[in-house]
Structure 1
Amino acid sequence: MAAPEIDLLSDDDLGRNGRNTTIFGNKEDSDELKNRNYTKDSSSASITKDSTPNVLDKDSPIIYHYLTCDTVLPLPSNGFSAAGQAAPPQPDLVKYTSPFDWPNSRKNFMIWLSCVATAITAYTAGSYAPASRQMAAEWNVSEVAVVVGITTFCTGFAIAPMVLAPFSEINGRYPVFVGAGIVYLICQICCAVTPTYTGMLVARFWVGAGSSVFSTMVGGVVSDLYHAEGRNTPMALFSGAALFGTGLGPLVSGFVAQNTSWRWVFWVQVITCGCLITAVTLFFKETRGSIILSRKAVCLNKWYEEREAAGYIGFEMTTGSEKTESQRLRWKVKSDEERESIAKMIGISVYRPFHLLLTEPVVFFFSLWVAFAWAVLYLTFGSIPLVFGTSHGFNTQQSDAVFAAMCIGAILATIISIYQDRILAQYLVSSGKNIEHPSRIRRVIDLSSPEGRLYFACIESALLPIGLFWFGWSHFSSIPWIVPTMGIGCATMGIYSIYLATFNYLADTYHLYASSALAAQSFCRNMLGGIFPLVTVQMFKGLTFQGAASLLGGIAALLTVVPWVLVFYGPRIRARSKFYGMQEQAMKKKRPSIEIVKRKRDGVDPAPEEQCKAVIDSWKSSGRAKVERFAAYI
């Protein structure tokens, strides 16, 4: 007779936040149990002196519990089999370790691999323009018509993530990366061999769709590996890779196009893309925590079934009365039960970003800000060859060499971004008045709030309008070419600060809805970026070089008010947000009271001044992460 299945999901059985949490009753019990681990990645459960033995068989009910990354796995109830068979070997659960707990070396490798993928994707976006003149001549169409290939690329890049994101939630990031990467590679080959203009436009759309995951989902990989306080450096590297690759594309392709043919521009991309997909397939490991947890539950349940088949039945589970009882145990994961159907998930993935865009002022203005900055970035594909070719007589290879300034600007901005938060944290720590009066930190600089991500962006975003005016008013042939080139580097650093601030601020503000908020800005950013190259030549010729640059610089200067408004009024704006209020209520329900549990366990309630001193001492040692925790604490 098949055993009945029971969901035993009360608070007493699951502990806080749906976890089967163990609190040791005394030091002796704790020390004894720490020596009885049966897996490589978890501690054994507590067995109190009031343990109640009970006999189980294969007809006993199966009791399901929710498994989390912090669940303490229980010990088997008995060490002998009525059938006399040997117990099946214990599974190796190390490979199911939470990505948050991976070694730094493994995290660093995943981040670097992801950033290389982002750079190659950005390279694909920028490498198309230098070949446009040769393609126009071969197919007898205008250069503007050929540039539509950038527009179709950006369209695929904007739309695909909204459809692919739910698949990464269900199947994990690895299969989406590999599957989309194969599409990316095949369509790059199609670009290299297509005999028609129409074929190029279609292939470019699918190249954009396939390559989009290596940009949009890398932010998700960073979130999988690092908690909020540790994401600054990985996100800085990710943003730097995106802008570096965008500048590297025309830099390399200009040389290839002038010395070979436009088809080799795409064959070079086929080679790099093939190497990337091979590396991702062989070396990238799944980082999505819910997927890893589901696999761990399947592995444990399979092992439990094998034990029962061999006659070893039951595990010691702690009950709400601090007693233990033997249970036929199985695990399940909450995210698997709460997941909607794939059709509904795609519908939400498409609908919610636009709903946020139209109803949330923060999402709207950030999307407008970053979309304009990205449009300026794509505008350089046409403006740099035009300006330097006209004013300085540069050929294709020489004009595209100017894009090295964009690469240098991205590198400098990345380095500055990595160290600026550390410098600010060290300044606050070394400020005697802040240590003596820690409550002032919230009034001076509040690094715990989302607005803490904008302090440097308020200043650095001004580099975009400065760079545009610099570029437009120094293009004259009487001025050395290096001067407007430096203006391009300056503008790139401004674009970088806007790009990074947008990702960080929206992620910190919307938490549960961050993916939708970021999808909204990504859609606007890529669509506007795809449109601007179509009007670049007409704009710069119609308004003159300095007039067009001044118009763009003026708009950029007006948009720099966005971070300033949020720094001063961000809390008020967020308080009026429907989505922010909904997520705050949800997070309050889910947030575990760790300190309360520890105090109940230890019977100690430290004095507030002792807690404050302990936080300050730990704060001094590690910079921004500790500053954020301390600011949030006080």
Structure 2
Amino acid sequence: MAEDESVPAPEVVALPSEKNEDVSNGDEIVRWSDGIEYRQMAFDSHIPVITVQQPGSMIDIPPCPDLSRYQSPYQWSATRKNLMTYLACSVNGVAAYASGSYASPEDQLRQKWGVSHAVFMLGITVFTIGFGVAPMILAPFSEINGRRPVFVLTGILFVAMQAACALTPTFSGMLVCRFLMGVGGSTFSTMVGGILADMWSSKERNTPMVLFTGATLFGTGLGPLVSGVIAQRLLWRWVFYVQIISSGLIVGLVAAFFSETRGSTILEQKAKAINQWYDKLDALGVYLQDDRPTSDSQHPYHRIRYTTNNPKPSVFKMIGHSLYRPMHMLVTEPVVMSFSAWISFAWAILYLQFGSVPLIFSTSYNFSLEQTGYVFTSQCVAAIISTVLHIRQEPFMLKYYPSKMTTPEGRLLPTCIMATFLPISLFWLGWTCFPSIHWILPTIAVGIATMGIFSIFLAVFNYTADAYGPYTSSALAASGVCRNLLGGAFPLVVHPLYLNLGFQAASSLLGAVAVVLTLVPVVLVWKGPRIRERSRIAKEFVGKEG
């Protein structure tokens, strides 16, 4: 500020005699230490920015940092939140794309490296292992350093490993690169849920979560669709070159436009920026005037610093915690256990299609690689239809059945119907894939299966978040590990299952398992409150839904 000789020189303020003494100062916690008043940083904290110089001094005061950069993500504009949502869903889509594109150049690569079908499909298995296990290690780093650095760095690893896959001369090199690609892409799936929760309140979160699910299933279908055409017409390396271009573009946009969304990290950055400015003022002998009434209003001039007062455990302790709690919940929580089995089987069917669709359609209809790739168009279309339906579903339920939507179980009511699409589609596919029946019928069955998987995926995320509150991440981590490991294992058994049992018997067997697992949401709608009340973790949220 300009020099104002009417302002008296600041007095020396008498401080509490005991250092680190915590006292109340309005709605903030203040800690005095070595003549400095430490205040708790919050998004609504009052930040003194009025500077006071000694009379007669002519000091060039450094400008206050731009604090608008450190706004709560909940208070961001709708445009900014939508941009962040689209970016997060886009990177999730390219990760899903990468998981399904690997199988398309199978013939070229098996001939090049002389491996069997089962051995070649290990490329999908190792990808899902990295995809499922890595978040258990990476999640603590996002807790400490924020989401953006982990998101960007793993994105760079993801793109780099795609380039390595395109250039590797050996099958073992391909497996290593696929595993590391899964590690890099894992945050694009597991961290997106947390990013959306950082920005959108629970009442606003349905549409973003639906878009996230839609991007996952659309990308999973787009991978074999596009890669089937590429592998038919070009060399196998172009399957990965196209991924490098598309993923590199999306990751570049993330690096350029993705903002930190984790609230505690933003507050730490805000406190650091303010404290650095205050340090410069102290060095120049410039004081701050707190223009808000305080508990010590007779002495408005303070040496102030801000702290988040949020000590964090070591990385190793957080990793141990991240590994232990999900596995503990998996074996002790009936809801987590049943949901993990349900979504794992659904995910296994999704990955099974990478091998079953080409096998069924090439055998029954003599489809080429490119033509079998086109079958996955039904998966992409189904993902779009499901996205539209689920966006409209919650407003419909809130309008006509508002009382049902006040509990986690009420949200499962539509799923009890739509989840039946998965067993129906499996029987449908198996008993319509005869050469005498038009290929469009089994193709539609693939789309119907996608709609069922979509409903299951979204129901697991929403119910878990409603039932477990702050323990949601651990519960979802448990189901995430299970679904990725089982999903990666199923492509290895495609040929033995379908060739030994036959298309009809194999599909019927899978359909029967799906029928049993479809009882999971029915049981939870019926007995869910009682089951949660018996849970040591979920019971504290019973009666607090809504």
TM-score (norm 2): 0.92
Return the letter of the residue paired with 2:269.
R
Question: For 2:441, which of 477, 483, 494 is the aligned residue?
Answer: 483
Is 1:123 the counterpart of 2:97? The answer is yes
Return the letter of the residue paired with 1:385.
P
Deviation at 1:275, TM superposition (A): 1.3
Q: Cα gap change, 1:59/1:293 in structure 2, threshold over 3 Å: closer, same or farther?
A: closer
> Which whole-Å CA distance do the structure 2 matches of 1:584 and 1:175 have between them?
36
Counterpart position of 1:469 = 427
Question: For 1:147, which of 121, 144, 165 is the aligned residue?
Answer: 121
Counterpart position of 1:520 = 478
Question: For 2:147, which of 164, 173, 185 is the aligned residue?
Answer: 173
Deviation at 1:123, TM superposition (A): 0.5
Q: Cα gap change, 1:14/1:540 in structure 2, threshold over 3 Å: closer, same or farther?
A: farther
Question: For 2:398, which of 412, 425, 430 is the aligned residue?
Answer: 425
Counterpart position of 1:606 = none
> Which whole-Å CA distance do the structure 2 matches of 1:507 and 1:5 have between them?
44
Is 1:13 the counterpart of 2:25? The answer is yes
Deviations 1:6-36 (A, max 9, x none): 54544x4253xx679xxxxxxxxxxxxxxxx
> Which whole-Å CA distance do the structure 2 matches of 1:553 and 1:573 have between them?
27
Counterpart position of 1:40 = none
> Which whole-Å CA distance do the structure 2 matches of 1:321 and 1:455 have between them?
57
Deviations 1:97-132 (A, max 9, x none): 011111111111111111111111000000011111
Q: Is the 8 A contact 2:340 2:482 kept in 1?
A: yes
Counterpart position of 2:304 = 329
Deviation at 1:425, TM superposition (A): 2.0
Q: Is the 8 A contact 1:232 1:418 kept in 2?
A: yes
Is 1:537 the counterpart of 2:495? The answer is yes
Q: Cα gap change, 1:301/1:239 in structure 2, threshold over 3 Å: closer, same or farther?
A: same
Return the letter of the residue paired with 1:558.
V
Is 1:405 the counterpart of 2:363? The answer is no
Q: Equivalent residue of 1:307, what SS? A: helix
> Which whole-Å CA distance do the structure 2 matches of 1:518 and 1:559 have between them?
18
Is 1:492 the counterpart of 2:450? The answer is yes
> Which whole-Å CA distance do the structure 2 matches of 1:537 and 1:90 have between them?
66
Deviation at 1:258, TM superposition (A): 0.7
> Which whole-Å CA distance do the structure 2 matches of 1:416 and 1:8 have between them?
57
Is 1:188 the counterpart of 2:162? The answer is yes
Q: Equivalent residue of 1:228, what SS? A: coil
Q: Is the 8 A contact 1:87 1:312 kept in 2?
A: no
Q: Is the 8 A contact 1:86 1:310 kept in 2?
A: no
Return the letter of the residue paired with 1:199.
G
Question: For 2:36, which of 46, 59, 62 is the aligned residue?
Answer: 62
Is 1:81 the counterpart of 2:54? The answer is yes
> Which whole-Å CA distance do the structure 1 matches of 2:322 and 2:56 have between them?
53
Counterpart position of 2:255 = 281
Q: After alignment, is 58-67 or 405-414 more displaced?
A: 58-67
Q: Cα gap change, 1:472/1:302 in structure 2, threshold over 3 Å: closer, same or farther?
A: same
Return the letter of the residue paired with 2:433.
H
Q: After alignment, is 451-460 or 219-228 more displaced?
A: 451-460
Deviation at 1:87, TM superposition (A): 4.5
Is 1:271 the counterpart of 2:242? The answer is no
Counterpart position of 2:353 = 380
> Which whole-Å CA distance do the structure 2 matches of 1:321 and 1:329 have between them?
13
> Which whole-Å CA distance do the structure 2 matches of 1:380 and 1:157 have between them?
19
Return the letter of the residue paired with 2:256.
L
Return the letter of the residue paired with 2:464.
L
Counterpart position of 1:48 = none
Counterpart position of 2:520 = 562
Structure 1 spans left out of the alignment, 5+ residues:
21-57, 429-440, 589-630
> Which whole-Å CA distance do the structure 1 matches of 2:74 and 2:444 have between them?
40
Counterpart position of 2:3 = none
Counterpart position of 1:98 = 72
Is 1:230 the counterpart of 2:204? The answer is yes
Counterpart position of 2:465 = 507
Q: Is the 8 A contact 1:168 1:176 kept in 2?
A: yes
Q: Equivalent residue of 2:467, what SS? A: helix
Deviation at 1:478, TM superposition (A): 1.1
Q: Equivalent residue of 1:229, what SS? A: coil
> Which whole-Å CA distance do the structure 2 matches of 1:507 and 1:115 have between them?
19
> Which whole-Å CA distance do the structure 2 matches of 1:474 and 1:321 have between them?
81
Return the letter of the residue paired with 1:482.
I
Deviation at 1:305, TM superposition (A): 2.7
> Which whole-Å CA distance do the structure 1 matches of 2:101 and 2:234 have between them?
14
Q: Is the 8 A contact 2:420 2:515 kept in 1?
A: yes
> Which whole-Å CA distance do the structure 2 matches of 1:365 and 1:323 have between them?
63
Q: Cα gap change, 1:19/1:459 in structure 2, threshold over 3 Å: closer, same or farther?
A: farther
Q: Equivalent residue of 1:152, what SS? A: helix
> Which whole-Å CA distance do the structure 2 matches of 1:380 and 1:253 have between them?
15
Return the letter of the residue paired with 1:127.
S
Counterpart position of 1:217 = 191
Q: Cα gap change, 1:59/1:141 in structure 2, threshold over 3 Å: closer, same or farther?
A: closer
> Which whole-Å CA distance do the structure 1 matches of 2:432 and 2:318 have between them?
51
Counterpart position of 1:592 = none
Counterpart position of 1:620 = none
Deviation at 1:73, TM superposition (A): 3.4
Deviation at 1:323, TM superposition (A): 9.2
> Which whole-Å CA distance do the structure 2 matches of 1:495 and 1:549 have between them?
16
Deviation at 1:318, TM superposition (A): 5.1
Q: Is the 8 A contact 2:532 2:542 kept in 1?
A: no
Q: After alignment, is 392-401 or 231-240 more displaced?
A: 392-401
Deviations 1:353-408 (A, max 9, x none): 10111111111111110000000000001111111111111111111110000001
> Which whole-Å CA distance do the structure 2 matches of 1:162 and 1:5 have between them?
43
Q: Cα gap change, 1:327/1:453 in structure 2, threshold over 3 Å: closer, same or farther?
A: farther
Deviation at 1:584, TM superposition (A): 8.2
Q: Is the 8 A contact 1:60 1:328 kept in 2?
A: no
Counterpart position of 1:340 = 313
Deviation at 1:347, TM superposition (A): 0.9
Counterpart position of 1:596 = none
The alignment covers a number of residue pairs equal to: 529
Q: How does 1:16-55 map to 2 (within 5 A)?
A: none
Q: Is the 8 A contact 1:173 1:286 kept in 2?
A: yes
Q: Cα gap change, 1:13/1:121 in structure 2, threshold over 3 Å: closer, same or farther?
A: same
Deviation at 1:468, TM superposition (A): 0.9
Is 1:162 the counterpart of 2:136? The answer is yes
Q: How does 1:250-399 map to 2 (within 5 A)?
A: 250-308=224-282, 309-315=284-290, 326-335=301-310, 337=311, 339-399=312-372
Q: Equivalent residue of 2:39, what SS? A: strand
Counterpart position of 2:5 = none
Q: Is the 8 A contact 1:8 1:65 kept in 2?
A: no
Q: Is the 8 A contact 1:83 1:311 kept in 2?
A: no
> Which whole-Å CA distance do the structure 1 matches of 2:408 and 2:399 have between them?
20
> Which whole-Å CA distance do the structure 2 matches of 1:74 and 1:568 have between them?
55
> Which whole-Å CA distance do the structure 1 matches of 2:151 and 2:444 have between them?
36
Q: Equivalent residue of 1:70, what SS? A: coil
Deviations 1:195-251 (A, max 9, x none): 111111111111111111111111111011111111100000000000000000000
Return the letter of the residue paired with 1:13.
N
Q: Cα gap change, 1:8/1:71 in structure 2, threshold over 3 Å: closer, same or farther?
A: farther
Counterpart position of 2:6 = none
Q: Equivalent residue of 2:25, what SS? A: helix
Deviation at 1:153, TM superposition (A): 0.5
Structure 2 spans left out of the alignment, 5+ residues:
1-11
Q: Is the 8 A contact 2:19 2:34 kept in 1?
A: no
Q: Equivalent residue of 2:406, what SS? A: coil
> Which whole-Å CA distance do the structure 2 matches of 1:580 and 1:334 have between them?
28
Q: Cα gap change, 1:265/1:580 in structure 2, threshold over 3 Å: closer, same or farther?
A: same
Q: Equivalent residue of 1:450, what SS? A: coil
Q: Is the 8 A contact 1:96 1:292 kept in 2?
A: yes
Question: For 1:201, which of 160, 172, 175 is the aligned residue?
Answer: 175
Q: Is the 8 A contact 1:379 1:532 kept in 2?
A: yes
